[in-house]
Amino acid sequence: MYEKVSCADSCVGDAKVRGISGGKKKHLSMACELITSPSVIFADEPTTGLDVFQAEKVMETLHQLAQDGLTVICSIHPP
């Protein structure tokens, strides 16, 4: 779905250490959940805090997952 990007080997970061961007953290969070191959994804406002481009990428990914047969349930607000 995604190409390898420059942040692929970056530190995620925490309150003390600056790491990847908020958008990339959201993508990473989704990826960590998808590794377990769930049959249902519940996404509560997955676009919150993202710019329009990143929000579109998240929604495209969720849409593709739904087309691939995964049940996707989410609530969204316009970014």
Task: Give me the domains of the chain, ranges plus CATH numbers.
Answer: 22-75 (3.40.50.300)
* pLDDT interval class at 79 (50, 70, 90): low
Query: What local confidence, expressed as pLDDT, does residue 21 receive?
Result: 74
Residues 22-76 have pLDDT tens digits of: 777 777 777 888 888 888 999 888 888 888 888 888 889 899 999 999 999 999 8
**Whole-structure pTM value:** 0.65
Helix 22-34 and helix 52-67, axial crossing angle in degrees, nearest 10:
10
In this structure, how many other beta carbons lie within 10 angstroms of the beta carbon of residue 50? Answer: 19
Query: What local confidence, expressed as pLDDT, does residue 49 receive?
Result: 80
Contact yes or no for 12/25 (Cβ under 8 A)? yes
Phi-psi region of 17 (alpha: psi -120 to 50; beta: other; left: phi over 0): beta
Contact yes or no for 54/23 (Cβ under 8 A)? yes
Query: What local confidence, expressed as pLDDT, does residue 76 receive?
Result: 81
